[in-house]
Structure 1
Amino acid sequence: MSEFSYPLHEECGVFGIYDKAGTEDVTAAVYSALYSLQHRGQESCGIAVNDDGVISGYRDLGLVNEVFTPQVLASLSKPEIRMATGHVRYATAGSRIRANAQPMIVRHGRGTMALCHNGNLTNAIQLRTELENEGAIFHGSSDTEVICYLITRERLKSGSIELAVSRTMDKLDGAYSLVIMSSTKLIAVRDPRGYRPLCIGTLPGGGYVFASESCALDAAGADFLRDVEPGEIVIADANGLRSVKDHCGRKDTQMCVFEFIYFARPDSVIEGSSVHEARKQAGRFLAEEHPVEADVVIGVPDSGLDAALGYSEASGIPYGIGFIKNKYIGRTFIQGSQKQRENSVRIKLNAVTSTVKDKRVVLIDDSIVRGTTSARIIKLLRDAGAKEVHFRVSAPPFKYPCYFGTDIPDQKLLVATGRTVAEINEIIGADTLGYLSTEHVVQLAKNSKCGFCTACFTGKYAVKPDQVLSTNIHERHLHDRPKDEKKLGE
């Protein structure tokens, strides 16, 4: 993505494995799967394991290889462990603190539960306030903890974790794909609108895997079975795999279209559609909507590359490697001084002069957020000798905030808000600028049975904005407290 100064982030990735035959190294499988899902969250990660009904785990801030040293993995690994869950997180709701890392492990009167969540609840503040008024004490600030409390409360009433999950779903609104581990069961849950992906895999020796993306199944040595349906509860236990569909079909599906544009890995298949092919299709649509005479088509690594291939195929303009991406720049560098942040694009990307010098270039990227980095990338091409730069974007203009798990900045920071395409182009400095249309963006995934959420482009929310309290529970929750109370202990 071009906006290194303010990249879009998706909240997290979830994973769970139930090895019925006892032939797998379950902890190693989770570790490998989290590596495959690292693109979905780089702030924190965790693994929880089930040792004959006793659930324990480890979670911390950092990347998978930073958190799970050989010593930590060894402490979690036992040959008899047959069930485990894993999570990678990028916070859109809740502070970036260790207490918000997942899986969250909850010990209660009926036993222990580990829970992983991908998404964002739109009624989390209301639910949290109700729980606090009933005596609940929260250790973190994420909406995941709200879900844990609700399931635990319902579990104490009903005795059945499946029923507890179903009753909790009646209270939740917004986006949530969950993997839940009890002492004897592994459960996958997807919200009725299906905002975030979740799929099922099978293990060669018997057993099941749940994951945010199919690429994680490959890493864990599992075969893709199917997607979890919007509203479905899927249970894996000693009796096999079963499903509860009481919440299916209750609401129109609203899967986040940006999973296909940017978030998911190109080698993943979501709702029957290849992410790689969907991005190529975006490029084809762009060539149809915004043709131009040019000498070469290039993409911004990494998510612009597939769309650039599609544009090249449809237009007949040769495809070229226009940028080399430095893959060895860590997060600390980008988070350093202001001068370092300003130079981050030049450090991360370098133009291939032989590809662009004296050429009319079509530059493809997945989005423009604030516009500042797009301008710097275009300048890189001009400095490398490009005669013309025609910028094409494989998504419509971002104009509205997201309340369902995508970390889009404040609306006033979005360059497309209140500006025409011509005005945006004046800011970024391209010769021409073209966005993918909202009509075509929902046609990227040909085989998908889900409808798509395009609210960040259109402002049409399944949950109306005036019903949404905040995308940051922690900050809003503090803001709404009385002034005198806010001062105590702070």
Structure 2
Amino acid sequence: MLTTHPFDDDKLREECGVFGIWGADTAAAMVALGLHALQHRGQEAAGITSWDGRQFHTHRAMGHVAGNFDRDEIIRALPGRVACGHVRYSTSGETALRNVQPLFAELSSGGFAVAHNGNISNAMKLRHELVRRGSIFQSTSDTETIIHLVATSSYRTLLDRFIDALKRVEGAYSLVCLTPEGMIACRDPLGIRPLVMGRVGDAYIFASETVALDVVGATFLREIEPGELVILSEKGIRSIRPFAPVRPRPCIFEHVYFSRPDSIAGGTSVYSVRKAIGAELALENPVEADLVVPVPDSGTPAAIGYAQASGIPFELGIIRSHYVGRTFIQPGDQVRHLGVKLKHNANRALIDGQRVVLIDDSIVRGTTSVKILQMLRDAGAAEVHLRIASPPTRHSCYYGVDTPERAKLLAAQMTVAEMATYIGADSLAFISVDGLYRALGAREGRNEMQPQHCDACFTGDYPTHLTDQEEVAPADQLSMLDERVVV
């Protein structure tokens, strides 16, 4: 079996997206629409949990939102004016329905549902402690650790128990939680993963990106601030900040690739930032060429910026098919090789005999770049100069991104010159870390003393402890390591 997204296989994937709504007559339907807009953040599974004032209702399924939540009977089975939902990818461990979110548990205070974007970097250590104290886990997801910490907290109120749980976890989290008392939306103190707030009519919405607000006709109100908890209940809305303030470090890769270009992140248009990245890339790494060609679709805004800054014409030299299913069964190696062209194909009439500047957002393992370069060579390209709209990815992410282990990251194993030879490019260049920051509006580039973003995948400067990576796991944790799923 071969994925028909051959150029997506080698991308860093944001692990999930969350959406919650409070006070809408058609809450579950609104969540389904919002999840459609966040589908790019997780295409493996989706789930919705609603609360009708008496009990919780949940539907979770493998696959895309479309096909699982586009039937009236499914939405009718999720009644209530309050609901939250989730789309996900997994990295390691099993792909199973028990790991699909929102996760739900019956606590002493009542039902508790949680949708989580991020990764708890000390989840294995906490889980080991909880299991030794008698907790029984139903999934291999790090998110379930939060539920058990809430359940075992000695504080009296649910909100205090929830805060107590969050103070014990490390890493990145944007959460939308549903309880009989109300809805809680929160973001980790560093604000690594995004979360925004909007309003449609009298209903409030929380979502991973502003594009999800647009789809349901909601007005963007503001971002949830790092370390902030927003609580919605019948008593109204309130905000608390229970954590000691720290300098925020939102994920810089949201601007490079994860977020949809029609979203607003950090008060800035993602599309505009990506064009600015392309322009900065052209200033840092010019080349004589005839055409600027993007790897569609993620490389397109940066390619437009590169073309405008360099004066080299922009052309769609690779055409993407939007009508291919997610998988295609291949009967043999020959057909499997041909399957690469199901999703993308070189526009030979433009490429033949031309010197091409090829723009992509990143290089991970390098396998994708090899395929693309060969495709352009086969189409007659005279030269191919590869330009990357992010710095070299030399370090793994532990904050909710599907990243290979460091040994499989091409930039961690080779110099840029060696990478160019391996890929088959006439030249290869990346935007610098400072150039990326300048494209984001920081005139002086990256502040070495106080970095403005989490850029650990480029710099190795991780903003939190990585307990599960730094500590040697005892023998009785080895099976847990094998099964771990990051969501």
TM-score past 0.5 threshold: yes
Match for residue 163 of structure 1?
160
**Partner of 1:125: helix, strand, or coil?**
helix
- Retained in 1: the 8 A contact 2:120–2:399? yes
What does the per-residue CA deviation read over 1:60-106, in whole Å, with 9 as the maximum and x for residues that have no partner? 2111113225155244344xx21000000111365311100001111
Name which of 242, 247, 251 aligns with 1:246: 242
SS at match of 2:286: coil
User: Aligned pair 1:18/2:22, yes or no?
Assistant: yes
Offset, 1:329: 2.5
Aligned equivalents of 2:332, 2:100: Cα separation in 1: 27
Alpha-carbon shift at residue 240 of structure 1 (Å): 2.7
Alignment of 1:27-106 (within 5 A): 27-78=28-79, 81-92=80-91, 94-106=93-105
Distance change in 2, residues 1:260/1:345 (3 Å): farther
Instruction: Report SS of the residue matched to 2:364.
Output: coil
The CA distance in 2 between the partners of 1:265 and 1:370, in whole Å, is: 23
Equivalent in 6, 11, 32 of residue 10 of structure 2: 6
C-alpha distance in 2, partners of 1:465/1:148? 21
Please point out which of 195, 200, 208 is paired with 2:204. Answer: 208
1:301 Cα deviation from its structure 2 partner: 0.9
Q: Tell me what 2:423 maps to.
A: 428
Q: 1:197 aligns with which of 194, 199, 211?
A: 194
Distance 1:238 1:72, change over 3 A: same
Partner Cα distance (2:477, 2:32) in 1: 34
Tell me the alpha carbon deviations over residues 119-140 of structure 1, each in whole angstroms, 9 at most, x when there is no partner: 1111001110111111110111
Q: Report 1:245-324 matches (<5 A).
A: 245-247=241-243, 249=245, 251-324=246-319
Q: Deviations over 1:274-301 (max 9, x none)?
A: 1111111110110010011111111111
Is the 2:176–2:186 contact (alpha carbons within 8 Å) kept by the matching residues of 1?
yes
Name the SS for the 1:442 alignment partner. Answer: helix
**By how many angstroms is 1:306 displaced?**
0.5
Q: TM-score when scaled to structure 1?
A: 0.90
* Aligned partner letter, 1:244: I
Letter in structure 1 aligned against 2:207: A
* Distance (whole Å) between structure 2 residues aligned to residue 172 and residue 343 of structure 1: 47
Instruction: Map 1:70-149 to 2 at 5 A.
Output: 70-78=71-79, 81-92=80-91, 94-149=93-148
Q: Against the structure 1 CA distance between its residues 466 and 190, is the aligned structure 2 distance closer, same or farther, given a 3 Å change threshold?
A: closer
For residues 16 and 149 of structure 1, the distance between their equivalents in structure 2, rounded to whole angstroms, comes to 22
Alignment of 1:265-414 (within 5 A): 265-333=260-328, 342-414=337-409
Q: Deviations over 1:391-425 (max 9, x none)?
A: 10001111111111111112221111131111100
Q: CA contact under 8 A between 1:4 and 1:344: conserved in structure 2?
A: no
Relative to structure 1, is the Cα distance of residues 379 and 30 closer, same or farther in structure 2, using a 3 angstrom cutoff?
same
- Could you say which residue in structure 1 is the equivalent of 2:225? 229
* Cα distance in 1, alignment partners of residues 249 and 330 from structure 2: 34
CA separation in 1, counterparts of 2:343 and 2:122? 38
CA shift, 1:453, in A, is: 1.2
Amino acid aligned to 1:190: R
Residue 7 of structure 1: how far off its partner (Å)? 3.0
Deviations 1:154-190 (A, max 9, x none): 3xx4343322221111101001110001113111110
Q: Given that residues 298 and 322 in structure 1 are in contact (C-alpha distance below 8 angstroms), is that contact kept between their aligned partners in structure 2?
A: yes
Unpaired segments of 5 or more residues in structure 2? 444-449
Matches of 1:244 and 1:216 in 2, distance apart?
Answer: 25
User: Structure 2 counterpart of 1:167, which letter?
Assistant: D
SS of alignment partner, residue 417 of structure 1: helix
Which deviates more, 227-236 or 351-360? 351-360
Distance between the aligned counterparts of 1:480 and 1:175, measured in 2? 19
Kept after mapping to 1: 8 A contact 2:211/2:262:
yes
Overall identity of the aligned pairs, in %:
43
- Displacement of 1:320: 1.0
Counterpart CA distance in 1 for 2:468 and 2:9 is 31
Q: CA deviation at 1:341?
A: 5.6
Amino acid at match of 2:213: L
Q: How far apart, CA to CA, are the structure 2 residues paired with 1:129 and 1:88?
A: 27
Whether the 8 Å contact between 1:94 and 1:100 is mirrored in structure 2 is no
TM-fit CA distance, 1:111 = 0.8
The corresponding residue for 1:150 is 149
Q: 1:318/1:6 Cα in 2 relative to 1: closer, same or farther (>3 Å)?
A: closer
Asked if the contact 2:50/2:56 (under 8 Å) is kept, the reply is: yes
1:413-449: CA deviation from partner (whole Å, max 9, x where unpaired): 1111131111100011111111011112233333999
Judged with a 3 Å threshold, the aligned counterparts in structure 2 of structure 1 residues 61 and 3 are, in CA distance, closer, same or farther, namely: same
Report if aligned partners of 2:251, 2:454 keep a CA contact under 8 Å in 1.
yes
Native 8 Å contact 2:170 2:465 kept in 1: no
Q: Equivalents in 2 of 1:455, 1:191: separation in Å?
A: 17
**Deviation string for 1:285-333 (max 9, x for gaps)?**
1001001111111111111000001101111111111111122332322
* Superposed displacement of residue 200, structure 1: 0.4
Q: Distance in 2 between matches of 1:209 and 1:450?
A: 30
Kindly tell me: are residues 410 and 151 of structure 1, through their superposed partners in 2, closer, same or farther at Cα, counting changes over 3 Å?
same
In 2, Cα distance between the equivalents of 1:232 and 1:335?
49
AA at the equivalent of 2:61: D
User: Is the Cα–Cα contact under 8 Å of residues 261 and 394 in structure 1 kept in the other structure?
Assistant: yes
Kindly state the Cα deviation for residue 143 of structure 1 after the two structures are TM-superposed: 0.5
d(CA) in 2 for partners of 1:342, 1:271: 41
Question: 2:92, 2:224 → 1: CA distance?
Answer: 24
CA contact (8 A) 1:180 1:186 kept: yes
Gaps of 5+ in 1: none
